[in-house]
């Protein structure tokens, strides 16, 4: 692609962002690197709306700085993360704050040495937080680049090279934000706007996308981005419930995605119908889970006791919260 075509596309992209970009997002209107960092970690695997409405401001209010986060116990951090999922993110955030209580390093290499910060997050912090001339590639940008440059099976390395080639070095931050929004709002995985009909009559076509004139994938966007269907795994899990004096027995998880969080004691399936409390379904990552709950009579030294009245900010997953709702409905049986 010629240099002048790339420059024209860069300019059109910025014009588009000026009108359609999500410039109002709070983490785009701050110079506080801590705010940018928290938003980037929360936005991994969670939608913008959910992060903004339920977690971002609440988390910053509770832990207003790296120092405050570093001082907090991990259980409190998990408590504020409760329901957001992928709890390793919260643990990594907390560990990074403990390593850098007065702020993050400013260079790409040092950032990647911190827990949970890979190439994408380091580049996002450098670009969105420190306004450096670096390219950014997340899943949305990768899709736009693959289509724009016309690569059917682009490797990660090739996509970063494309991002470097396309980077607008005069306005790198805005360019990256614009590409991200274009991928999210226009060049979507299925039916990108350039292929969609307006009112089912006139195709929006080139009008929909600022990159359309130079886009190699314009005629056949699906060819350059193949949606992968998730391979689900069905599993049954069984948990015991022991309630005493308004407190419930929990255990600290020692492995897996809920490591270091509180969960109900895991047990073998029970035959005794009198002990059965109920079941519910829950999906997490590739797992479709069926969770069965039983009353438990045996105490264990490893139990942690959680007050049933203080569940809201307890360090428990949304799956455990669902289980606790069933427990609350069955309190008369304990
Ligand atoms: S023209 Fe279509 S395929 Fe190309 S970048 Fe724009 S929306 Fe994506």
Whether ligand 1 lies within 6 angstroms of the CB of 148 is answered as yes
Do 201 and 207 contact (CB within 8 A), yes or no? no
Looking at the chain, list the stretches that DSSP marks H as alpha helix, in order from N- to C-terminal side: 3-20, 33-43, 48-50, 56-62, 66-71, 74-81, 88-99, 108-111, 119-124, 139-149, 156-166, 172-185, 318-329
Q: Which residue has the tokens 């700085």?
A: 65
- Distance in Å, CA 55 to ligand 1 centroid: 32
The residue contributing the CA closest to ligand 1 atom 1 is 212
**Intervals of CATH 3.90.79.10 along the chain:** 233-333
pLDDT at 199 (0 to 100) = 55
Whether ligand 1 lies within 6 angstroms of the CB of 194 is answered as yes
pLDDT at 225 (0 to 100) = 79
3-state secondary structure of 155: coil
Q: Which residues contact 220 (CB under 8 A, 6 or more apart)?
A: none
Token code pair at residue 251: 């255990």
Pocket test for ligand 1, best of 215, 220, 222 (most atoms within 8 A of CB): 215
Q: Please give the Cα distance from 307 to 314 (Å, whole number).
A: 9
- Distance in Å, CA 10 to ligand 1 centroid: 14
Active site residue 40: yes
Q: Please give the Cα distance from 251 to 23 (Å, whole number).
A: 44
Tally of CA atoms within 13 A in the half-sphere of 85 that contains its CB? 12
**Intervals of CATH 1.10.340.30 along the chain:** 3-224
| Main-chain dihedrals φ then ψ at residue 183, nearest 5 degrees | -65, -35
Q: Does domain 233-333 have CATH number 3.90.79.10?
A: yes
Pairing label, strands 233-241, 287-295: parallel
Whether ligand 1 lies within 6 angstroms of the CB of 143 is answered as no
Q: How far is CA 90 from CA 81, 125, 176, in A?
A: 7, 17, 25
- Distance in Å, CA 184 to ligand 1 centroid: 12
Give the number of the atom of ligand 1 that is nearest the alpha carbon of residue 221.
3
Q: Does domain 3-224 have CATH number 1.10.340.30?
A: yes
Do 34 and 129 contact (CB within 8 A), yes or no? no
pTM of the model: 0.80
Give the number of the atom of ligand 1 that is nearest the alpha carbon of residue 224.
3
Residue in 202, 203, 183 with CA at minimum distance from that of residue 194? 203
Give the number of the atom of ligand 1 that is nearest the alpha carbon of residue 212.
1
Give the number of the atom of ligand 1 that is nearest the alpha carbon of residue 216.
4
- Distance in Å, CA 220 to ligand 1 centroid: 9
Q: State the DSSP string of 187-238.
A: S-SSS-GGGPEETTTEE-GGGG-TTGGG-TTTT-GGGG-PPPPP--EEEEEE
pLDDT at 145 (0 to 100) = 96
Q: How far is CA 263 from CA 99, 214, 239, 240, 252, in A?
A: 28, 53, 9, 10, 6
pLDDT per residue, tens digit, the chain (334 aa), is 788 889 999 999 999 999 999 999 999 999 899 999 999 999 988 889 999 999 999 999 999 999 999 999 998 998 899 888 888 899 999 999 999 999 999 999 999 999 999 999 999 999 999 999 999 999 999 999 999 999 988 899 999 999 999 999 999 999 999 999 999 999 999 888 888 665 555 556 677 899 999 999 888 888 887 766 667 889 999 999 998 888 899 998 888 778 888 899 999 988 888 889 999 999 887 889 999 999 988 777 778 888 877 766 778 888 898 999 899 888 888 8
Q: Please give the Cα distance from 118 to 120 (Å, whole number).
A: 6
pLDDT at 61 (0 to 100) = 97
Catalytic residue among 18, 24, 40, 156: 40
Token code pair at residue 217: 């994938």
The residue contributing the CA closest to ligand 1 atom 8 is 187
- Distance in Å, CA 187 to ligand 1 centroid: 5
pLDDT at 197 (0 to 100) = 60
């Amino acid at each position: 692609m010629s240099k002048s075509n790339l420059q024209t596309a860069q300019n059109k992209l910025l014009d588009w962002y000026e009108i359609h970009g999500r410039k109002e997002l709070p983490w785009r209107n701050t110079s506080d690197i801590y705010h940018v960092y928290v938003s980037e970690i929360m936005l991994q695997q969670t939608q913008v709306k959910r992060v903004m409405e339920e977690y971002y401001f609440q988390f910053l209010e509770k832990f207003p700085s790296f120092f405050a986060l570093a001082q907090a116990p991990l259980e409190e951090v998990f408590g504020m993360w409760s329901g957001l999922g992928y709890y390793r993110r919260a643990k990594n955030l907390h560990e990074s704050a403990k390593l850098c209580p007065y702020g993050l390093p400013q260079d790409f290499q040092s950032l990647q040495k911190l827990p949970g910060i890979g190439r994408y997050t380091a580049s996002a912090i450098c670009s969105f937080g420190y306004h450096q001339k670096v390219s950014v590639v997340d899943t949305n940008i990768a899709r736009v680049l693959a289509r724009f440059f016309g690569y059917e099976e682009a490797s990660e390395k090739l996509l970063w090279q494309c991002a470097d080639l396309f980077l607008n070095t005069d306005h790198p931050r805005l360019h990256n934000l614009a590409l991200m929004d274009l991928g999210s709002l226009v060049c979507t995985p299925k039916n990108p706007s350039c292929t969609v009909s307006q009112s089912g009559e006139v195709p929006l076509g080139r009008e929909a996308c600022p990159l359309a004139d130079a886009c190699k994938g314009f005629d056949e966007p699906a060819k350059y981005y193949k949606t992968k269907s998730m391979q689900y795994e069905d599993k049954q899990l069984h948990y015991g419930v022991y309630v005493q004096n308004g407190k419930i027995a929990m255990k600290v998880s020692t492995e897996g995605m809920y490591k270091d969080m509180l969960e109900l004691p895991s047990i073998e399936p029970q035959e005794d119908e009198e002990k059965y409390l109920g079941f519910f379904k829950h999906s997490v990552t590739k797992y479709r889970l069926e969770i069965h709950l039983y009353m438990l009579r045996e105490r264990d030294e490893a139990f942690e006791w959680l007050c049933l009245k203080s569940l809201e900010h307890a360090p428990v997953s949304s799956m455990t919260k669902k289980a606790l709702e069933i427990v609350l409905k069955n309190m008369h049986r304990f």
